[in-house]
Every structure is written in C-alpha cells, then in structure tokens.
Amino acid sequence: MTTTADTAGLVGAGADRVDGPSKVTGAAQYPADFGLENLAHAVLVQSTVAAGRIRRLATERAEAAPGVLAVITHRNAPRLARAQGGLGLGPPPPLQDDRVVHHGQHIAVVVAQTLEQAAAAARLVQADYEAAEPLLDLDDPRAERVENASGRDVSRGDVAAGLTAAEVVVAATYTTPVQTNNPLGLFASIAYWDGDLLTVHDSTQGPVFTRAALAAAFGLPETAVRVLAPFVGGAFGAGLRTWPHVVLAALAARVAGRPVKLVLSRAQMFTSVGYRPPTVQHLKVGARRTGELVAIDHEGIEPTALEDDFAESLTRGTAVLYDCPNLSGRTRQVRLNVACPTWMRGPGEAPGVFALECALDELASELGIDPVELRLRNYAEIHPQTSRPWSSKALRACYEQGAERFGWTRRTPEPRSMRHGRFLVGYGMASAYYGYVQAPCQATASLGLDGVAVVRSAATDIGPGTYTVMTQVAASTLGLPMERIRFELGDTTMPPAPLQGGSGLTAALGSAVHAACRRLLQAFVELAADNPQSPLHGCSVQDVTAADGRISVVHAASPAPAETYTAILARHGLAELSADGASARRTDLDAEPGIFAAKFAEVQVDPDLGLIRVTRFVAAVDGGRILNAKTAASQIIGGTVGGIGMALLEETVSDPGTGRIANATFGDYLVAVNADVPDIDVIFVGEPDPINPIGVKGIGEVAIVGVAPAIANAVFHATGRRIRSLPITAERLL
C-alpha cells in the first residue's frame, strides 16, 4: 500500500467536470456521432411472436427497394460463435436459425444507403410464423426452474429452529416489476472492416469486453478488433453486455462492404439491451421482543431468458447487513420466453434490499421499536457470513449523522400521526449495502516537453465523472495543475481496464492511474538523480515532493532544491518519459470490503387522492475517500432520482398473453422528472478504505439501494397502508 503522504493530496475538492465544455458545446462525439465516408445504415426487423419458428420470411420486396444494399436473415447469415458467458459478454448470436424465443427478437437486418431507405425497406419484410404457446408466467409448470441461479446462495445456523424460537415473526411477500434501463442516449454501433480488421464505435461500458465478444463471434484474434467508446450517453448497466445488435452492425458492415451505422429506436431499447427482471420475494424475519434478530429466511424468484446465463443475487445484502445467527438467502430463476435481462443500477441489492428493509420496518412497527434503533441493535460489527472484519465500515455513523441531519427525532411513531396542512406526512428510512469488486486494471502515463501529462486507459465514462476524477488523481500525484493533464479513455488500443459497473472502476482505474503517475515521477527523479548538474542529484522518490510542475527536495533548507519536468527532459535531450501502472484488489488484508449508506425519506400523501410526493431526502454514505465531492454528490443524487422512479413510477408492462411490451415509450414508461424530485441532502462519512491504494469505494450502485424502501416505509408511516409491491401508485394506495 502507498503511504499516507502518497495519497493525502488525493482528497478532492469539488472540481468541475473537465469534459463538461466539450459536452455542452457538442464537441464530444458519442458512438452515433462519427461520420464516415460511404456510411450505410442498418435497421432491425423484430419478431411479433414470443415463441415458435419462422415458417416463411418474405424479403423480396425489401431487397428490391430503393437504396437497399442487403437484407440479412437466418437464411443467409454466416455462422457466428457465441462468446463465453458472463459479465460483459453477450446473449446467443443472432440470426443463426429459424427459432423465436422472445417477442421483439431480431429476425432480420436491412442495410441501405440512407436511414430512411433502410427503415422503409424493413417495413416490407414479412414474416409468417409457426407460433407456439409462450412461457410467460413464473408459475407456469412447464418452465424450467434454476436453483442457486447466481451461485451466491448463503446460509448459516438453523433458520427453521430460529424461526420457531423467535418471539415475533414477520412473514410477507414483496414484488418488484420489470424496470427498463432508459438512458437518454439511444444505443448505437458503427462498424467498419479493413480486410480482417474490425473497428466498432459502441455504447459500451467495457470496450475490452466488447472486443472479446466480437472477436469470439467472428473467429478473430482480439488484436484484430478495435472498440471505441470515448463518450457514452448513459448506460446504468445496459452497456455491460455485448448485445446482438452490436454483432449485427459488424456483420452488416462485412456483408455490405462499407461502414454501417445501427441505432436502436426507443422501443427497441426495451427489447434489445436488457432490463431489471421482476422479482417475487418471500421473507420471514424472526426476533426477540427486545429487537434482536434470531432468524431471516429470504427467497427471491425472478425470470430469465431461455438461453442465457445472466443471474443476480437478490439476497447478497440480506446476508451481511445485520448480525443474525440463523439465515438462509436463496435466489432461483424461471426460464421464460422473455428477452435477456441484465444488470441495472444496484443489481440484486436494489430489489433485494427493498424487500429486506420493508420487512425490518414491519418488524419495528410490530415491536414498537424505532426503526433506526432496531438496526443499531442488530449492527454487524464484523462480516456476519465470514466472521472477518470489514476493511472499513461507517454505517453506524451513517445512521447517526443521517438521522440528525434529517431531523428523525421529530418523527412520532404512530402511523397517520403527522400532517402538513391537509396532507399526511411520513418519515421512513432504510439501510443500504453494495459489495463491490475491484478488478485488475492498467494505465499508462507520459509527460513531454510541452509540460502536459497524457494518461490513458481503455475504460469508459458513462457519466459519473471518470474523466474528471482521473485527471485529479494524475494531477495530484504528479504535482501538476489539472489543465496540464489530458486523460484519455474509451479505446481498446490503450491499456486494458475493467467495466464501468459494479462500483469498482474508480478504485481499479484510480489505483492504476496513481501507480502509473507515481512511477512516472520516479522515472524523472531517477533521471535527475544520476546527473550531478541537477538540483535533485542523489535523490530518491522518497526524498521529493511534486507541486506546480516542479519536483522539490523535502526537508531541505529554504529555498528547497527543485527542478521542472521539462528542464529534466531538455537536459537529457528527451522528448518525453513514460511509465505504466497496474492495480488489483489487495489480497494481504484479512478483511471484507463493503459500501454502506443510510437513507431517510419524507413523503406527503394526499389522503383523498392517494398522490404521493417525496418532499425531503437525506442520504448518508460511507464512500471511503471521496476524490471529488461535487461529482460524488451528483452520483448519489442521480441514484436517488432513480430510486424515486423505482419506488413510485417505473414499471415495464407486457401483455400477459403475447409478451409484447405495451409501454415502450417515454410517454408511457414513467421516470422521475424535476417535479418529482425534492432537494436531496448528501452526507459523506467514513475514512479511506485500505482495500485499495487510494482508499476509495465506488458509490454508483449504493446510490439507488435503499431509496425505494425508505420511501415505502415513509408511505406506511404517513398512511398506515403497507404496500409491498412496486411501484407504489395512487391506485394501489387507495
């Protein structure tokens, strides 16, 4: 681990986004923005049944339409290999046979000289199906059940005995609906070939993983594929996999012999890039009258596609949030004729913690114990499942400081006991947890005679501020002003980086950038140390500090000997120096990482109409070292807005007989807008986390976890009505 002196300057002020000017002026190029000579356009044709086979696919009219270059179907598509399953890779390759396994499946792609020509021709493709009765219901006895779907089922103690011995047991079922990743930017791919070399601009959260998937699909070495994603217009998990439309863009470019752009429509975003699967969760929580938990039984059930390996754990948070001796957490899946689901912000934890934290609130009400106090009585000082210490944990401070900032003591415990004029007022709270994983990462840094340091890594920035924070890390480590740092990402020709997902990229990439810049500083010091003419002669990197573009000797008489980077280069006749850096999660600590938060919500409810308004929200977050207070707070605010949508608005509705999505527009799929969002107060607590060299924890996922149950618990406190199914609408409340 680096020393305190190495990282002390990394505590970030609220620096403005370095990529902000390019975004607001239109200079930032997103995947669909690249103009290439001779660019063709592709439009997808999708199935109108959920199960069966394509009996006939009439493409003659489309092929004869003006400007059409190709119509690709299962009849003429080449064989494509399927990449190995798992994070970042994709569902089965498209257009490989005549089977239909979900409504909206891609059954053809039309390539034409213009977008309008491709869209018109796509409407001319006619499909005749041999339809089968689809599997669309979790309770369908024909459907395959998958036990321990995520491989993360957990148990400890004897749950049955614990529930029998409990003095109070709360048993309830909670449900969450399909929620669809709806970034503002439509997902797009532009692909072109140069012989056997493939280049793709794509809306991906992991260029390295997309490269691997495309290489596997086309039987290419990874060195023959280049993926670029310098800017991505939001993703929230939808960009973590390589979807069939990306493969089809590359295939269309090969068939057409020219660059091809494929942009999904808004409706296709609902069927083509995954979604948060619906859940049915059964909970039993047993406790003593004094509030100590004795047993938790949590089973979560969700659908998945017929031929996919996606799985998330609904009970991971349940296993670790509280000190409970007897616990069973199980996730099982049911294979249905549905499109492939995917990760969505706070995957697993967001719906799972909703059920758990509502059950805890029900228990607190049953026992007559304050909800915050109940959680404090069951505080897990160590990891309950492994009995190992936490690498860092400040959840207790989150409870205490969040409650104080919110004014929790003003809460009267009886439901319907608080009012603001004619409106019922409710206070609710919930815990939040997310278990992040820090994957290996690499970066490179160079500094030339112009005094500008260029730092590169093949990561993406989907909006949390990666460009800015990495610029800060590099500037702090090298002692340069931020305007003298140029951070570049989103290109697989750069050093490999993990996905921007799972709240792990800041730790992984930040540690790699810090390591590369530290090694670059060391290279300059070693170069100067060997030169008797240098003021740094005989020094090591431990003897110096860097600031204002100068390397100075510490603990020296004033004025301290110092030299600029550019002077060192000039003296040695060098144009630049470069250094590489790498990072990985520390394995020498016998400790468990974890990200924690406490969320507090105030709602006002119209007692006659059932309309709910979130009027105040406080999020107290244990985020480790905060590198940029402004972008970090923005992450928590954004996640909270998503949580308000999850609690009160968002639900993707499908026809129960056909599987067709009925509300695949922004007019019908409701998301939180400005009028739905109150002032959101964000508090950061805790200390740097020693699990990685720069002491950070990712906060993108925990930002949404706990928001929905805090609101649901506030609605109960306001109305006395316990709504166990999301979203909580006026219809359900009345």
* Residues acting as catalytic residues: 701
Residue 454 pairs in a beta bridge with 446, 486
Tokens of 41: 């356009």
DSSP-derived letter for residue 464 is S
The size of the chain, in residues, is 734
Which two three-digit tokens encode residue 248?
């089809």
Helix axes 707-719, 629-648, angle to 10 degrees: 50
- β-partners of residue 174 are 281
Q: Which residues contact 621 (CB under 8 A, 6 or more apart)?
A: 398, 595, 596, 597, 636, 682, 683, 684, 685, 699, 702, 703
CA distance 620 to 710: 13
Cβ contact 626:684 at 8 Å: yes
- Residue 547 phi/psi, 5-degree rounding, is -160, 145
CA distance 353 to 306: 27
H/E stretch holding 568 reads helix 565-571
Q: Residue 572 corresponds to which tokens in the numbers above?
A: 């040695």
> Which residue from 227, 231, 249, 229 is spatially nearest to 184, judged by alpha carbons?
231
Task: Indicate the residue type of 586.
Answer: R
Dihedrals phi, psi of 451, to nearest 5 degrees: 80, 10
By three-state DSSP, how is residue 261 classified? Answer: strand
Answer whether 110's CB lies under 8 Å from 121's CB. yes
Q: Is the sign of the CA dihedral 206, 211, 214, 217 positive or negative?
A: negative
CA dist., res. 368 & res. 362, Å (int) = 10
Reference 529, options 510, 513, 542, 515; nearest CA is 542
d(CA 37, CA 43): 19
Of 122, 39, 117, nearest in space to 73 by CA: 122
The gap from C-alpha 661 to its chain's centroid, in whole angstroms, comes to 24
> E strand or H helix at 543, and its extent?
none
Cα separation of the two ends of the chain: 57
